[in-house]
Structure formats: C-alpha cells, structure tokens
C-alpha cells in the first residue's frame, strides 16, 4: 500500500521548526505539505527542507484535504498538523491501522489511555462540546464500534474510502463530516489513543463559537441527507 504523509499548515512558523525534526518522514513513501496561504515563512521553511508545498485556491482545512487527495496517488494518506497539538510519534500507527484494514484511522483524545489538552482542569468546555457532537453522530449514524473522537483532524484515510465519503465541507468541520459519512457507509473506523499537546506558538484560526455553529449546521445537513 502506497503511503503519503500530508503536513497541513497555515502560518505555523513558530511551532513548525520545533516539531519538524520529530516527524517520522521515513514512515511514508511520499511527504508533502498543503498550505492555506501562509505569509510567515512556513512555505519557505518546508521547501528548504525538500518538502513540496501545494497551495490552495480557497482557504480552509476541508479544501486542504481535497487538494491533498488530488495531489497524490497514494492509497493510504495521513494528515498531520505541526502546531504542537499532535504527537508525530503516532503517525506510523495510523498508517499501520490503514494497512490492517481500517478505512479511516483516528488518533483519539477521548478513549481509554488517551489525553486531552483540557484533562488538566475540571472545566473542559471544548472536550464536552466535542463529546456531545460525537454522541449525536454515533447515535444517528453508527452501527459499528463507538467512535470516541469524531472531530480530531489527526487521522488517516484510504483513498477509496475518501472518494466514497466525498466530503465537501470547506473548513474545520471536514473531519466531523468524514466521520459521520464513514459511519453511515458502514466503513471501518479504527481509533488509537493519543496524547494531545499544547500549541507551541502561532495562532489558532478555529474560534469556538463560529466553528460550533458550522458544526451544528453540518450535523443538521447530514441528518437531512438522504441515505
């Protein structure tokens, strides 16, 4: 199975240099980046290290996923965001899960043995909202094993599964849309426990309230979609 590792970036020059050396680039046949229009030297940093960078016509993570799939012929594709939240040591495990028969492999921050950024405090609004969206998706669509982290972007997918899901979401909600469609199609979703780290610099572009509204709308649209 041909493997591609995709690095997703939008202005990550503060965190990227601190993580780049830990990315197991030899775990994939091909490593490239999809960039949402960085203007802080991110693209130059990657290019100087031999990583090919594909641009996007429109911004957003959803768009980035589709650009990535169009840019490779690999059968197994893992998406990695180098901002500190994701542990690069989990990348080989995601590829192995896909090779072991998973259609989609998710690094879960919610399952037994995992750690969520908010687990250090008793007040965990992001985690609770995430769990609520997960519960809604599982209740509505899942007939297989419960998927604990339907939203995490740290995941891998098989090309044929991606084509069947055909997610059209533009931004941060693409992962949730993929999870719902995978469940509905009866695809095999495998999760691996991960430890979520802190952002190592730079800025988040996922503001909670607008992102939450987009999630609600996407959930509604998937519920109304004909099978």
Positions that interact with ligand GTP (CB under 6 A): 8-10, 12, 34-36, 56, 59-61, 64, 81-83, 85, 199, 204-206
Chain centroid to CA 201: 19
Pick one of ligand GTP, Mg ion, none as the site partner of residue 34 (Cβ within 5 to 8 A by kind). Answer: ligand GTP
Provide the minimum distance between the beta carbon of 105 and ligand GTP in the complex, in angstroms, as a whole number. Answer: 18
Residues 6+ apart with CB under 8 A from 60: 36, 170, 171, 172, 174
- Binding partner at 62 among ligand GTP, Mg ion, none, C-beta below 5 to 8 Å by kind: none
CA-to-CA dists, residue 167 to 66, 108, 129, 156, 178, angstroms = 8, 20, 22, 14, 6
Give me the 32-71 binding string for Mg ion, x by CB under 5 A, dash otherwise: ----------------------------------------
CB of 202 to Mg ion, least distance (A): 9
Sole window of 79-87, 101-109, 127-135, 153-161 interacting with Mg ion (rule: CB under 5 A): 79-87
Q: Residue 31 binds which entry of Mg ion, ligand GTP, none, with Cβ cut-offs from 5 to 8 Å by kind?
A: none
CA–CA gap between residue 93 and residue 219 (Å, rounded):
29
**Cα(14)–Cα(203) distance, integer angstroms:** 9
Triad 101, 105, 111: Cα angle to 5°: 120
From the list ligand GTP, Mg ion, none, which binds 175 (C-beta under 5 to 8 Å, kind-based)?
A: none
Give the Cα separation of 155 and 8 in Å (integer): 12
Q: How far is the CB of 99 from ligand GTP (least distance, A)?
A: 25
Residue 5 or 187 with smaller CB distance to ligand GTP:
5
Q: Are 38 and 222 in contact (CB under 8 A)?
A: no
Cα–Cα distance between 172 and 214 in angstroms, integer?
9
| Of the residues 12, 83, 191, 222, which one makes contact with Mg ion according to CB under 5 A | 83
Residues making contact with Mg ion (CB under 5 A) = 83, 85
């Amino acid at each position: 199975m041909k493997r591609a590792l995709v690095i997703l970036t939008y202005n990550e020059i503060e965190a990227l240099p601190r993580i780049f050396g830990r990315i197991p680039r030899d775990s994939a046949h091909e490593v490239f980046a999809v960039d949402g229009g960085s203007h802080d030297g991110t693209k130059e940093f990657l290019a100087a290290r031999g990583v090919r960078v594909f641009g996007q016509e429109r911004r957003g993570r959803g768009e980035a996923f589709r650009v990535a799939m169009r840019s490779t012929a690999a059968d197994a594709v893992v998406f990695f965001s180098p901002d500190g939240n994701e542990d690069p040591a989990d990348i080989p495990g995601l590829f192995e899960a896909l090779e072991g028969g998973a259609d989609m492999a998710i690094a879960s921050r919610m399952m037994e043995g995992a750690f969520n950024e908010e687990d250090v405090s008793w007040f965990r609004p992001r985690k609770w909202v995430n769990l609520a969206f997960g519960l809604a998706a599982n209740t509505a669509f899942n007939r297989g094993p419960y998927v604990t982290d339907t939203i995490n972007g740290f995941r891998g997918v098989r090309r044929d599964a991606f084509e069947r899901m055909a997610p059209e979401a533009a931004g941060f909600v693409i992962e949730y849309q993929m999870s719902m469609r995978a469940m509905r199609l009866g695809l095999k979703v495998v999760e691996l426990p991960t430890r979520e780290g802190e952002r190592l610099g730079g800025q988040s572009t996922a503001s909670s309230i607008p992102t939450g509204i987009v999630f609600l709308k996407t959930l509604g649209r998937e519920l109304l979609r004909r099978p």
